[in-house]
Amino acid sequence: MYSVTEGFNIGDREIKLITIKNNSNMEVKLINYGATIVELLVPDRNGTIENVILTYEEIEDYIKNPPYFGATLGRTSGRIANGLFMLEGEEYQLHKNFEINHGHGGSKGFTFQCWDYVVTEEPGKTIVEFIYNSKDMEEGYPGNLNVRVTYTLTDGNQLLIEYEGETDKKTLCNLTNHSYFNLSGNYKRKVTQQYLRIKSNEFLELNKKVIPTGKLIDVNSTPMNFKEEKLIGKDIESNYEQLTITNGYDHAWLLSNEGNQIEMYDGDSGRKMVVSTTYPSVVIYTYNHPNNEKLKYNMLGSKYDGICFETQYEPDGINHEKLNSAILDVGEKYYEKTELRFLIV
C-alpha cells in the first residue's frame, strides 16, 4: 500500500513524499528529490515501530543536505582525487566539492536533482521507480546517462534497491544510497553500542586526503576486522593511523560475493539488518563529522549517531589499475542491487 503527499517545491517542480507500507508494519518514506529515503520505520521485538535512519526535522532541509542523509549518490559515489580522470585519452575535470577532490557526484549531483517517479503495487510488494536523465557534461561527466533507481518493499521486511543505467558515450557510473542507520529506534543510542559483522578480509588504505592509495590491507590484527561480530565502538577510538585520518570509520571494505555480507544488530531492541549486495565493496562511514543537523525527535546530529553502508565499486577506482574503474560503455547496461533485510532476534 502507498500514499503520495506534498513535500516542498523547487522552482516549478513539486517534490512529493511517497510512503509505502507492507503487511508486517514496516514503512518507508521517500522523496523524488535525490531519490532519497527520508524515514524507515521498523518494529522491535516488542512490536514498537520506530525510525532506524537519521531524518531531518524539516523536510525542506533535504534541499541542501550536506551529510547526504538517505540520498542516491551519482554519477559516482565516494571521492575522485583532484576531480580528475582520463577516459579514452581525454582528461575530464570534475567539480571539486570535497576540498581539492570531487565527491559523491558533485554539488549538483544526483542527490540534488528532481527525479520522475512511478509507484506500482504487486502481490506482496510495493515498488517505487525513480528516473533521471543526466545530461552530457553534467558536473563534468561525459555522455547522456539515463538512470533508474528502484525501491521494492516486500511483506517479508526486505527493502531491495536496484540501480540501472545506460549511456550514449563512455562515462563513469557508481551509484549508491547514503542512509545513516541506527537500529536502536529513533536514535536513542549511539551506533557504537550496536554490533557489526562484515564478510571481508581486506580494506582500502587511505591517504591523508581520504583518497585510496590503491593498497589493500589485511584486516587481521587491525581495528578494521569485523569478520566476527563485535561492537562498532570497540576499536573505533584506537590509535590506528587509518582511523585517526578519518576520525572514525570511513573506509572501503572488499566484500565476498556470497550474499549476507553485512550484519548489524542492536541488542536492546532486537532489530537486526542483513545487507546483501552485488557490488564488490562497501564504504562504511560512522558520521564522524556532524554539524548539529536538526534531526527529527527534537535532536541535534552528533558523532556516531548513524552509520552508512555505501555499497559500490571502490572509490577513485578509475585512477587505480587494480580497482574497479566504474566505467560504463555505450551498449552496456548498468545493473547492481543491494538488499536490506530486517529481522527480530
Angle at 15 (CA atoms; ends 6, 71), nearest 5 degrees: 120
Which of 129, 310, 314, 339 is labelled catalytic? 310
Question: Is 310 one of the catalytic residues?
Answer: yes
Question: Is 178 one of the catalytic residues?
Answer: yes
Q: Which residues pair with 175 in a beta bridge?
A: none
Whether residue 33 contacts residue 7, with contact meaning beta carbons closer than 8 Å, is answered with: yes
Q: In what order do the strands lie in the sheet with 281-285?
A: 180-181, 307-312, 281-285, 250-254, 202-206, 212-218
Which of 41, 58, 57 has its CA nearest to residue 181? 41
d(CA 285, CA 129): 26
Grid cell, residue 66, equals: 550536506
289 marked among binding-site residues: no
d(CA 85, CA 334): 20
d(CA 189, CA 39): 17
179 marked among binding-site residues: yes
Which of 102, 178, 251, 320 is labelled catalytic? 178
Which of 225, 228, 226, 224 has its CA nearest to residue 243? 224
Binding positions for beta-D-galactose are 178-180, 250
Binding positions are 178-180, 250
Name the residues annotated as catalytic: 178, 310
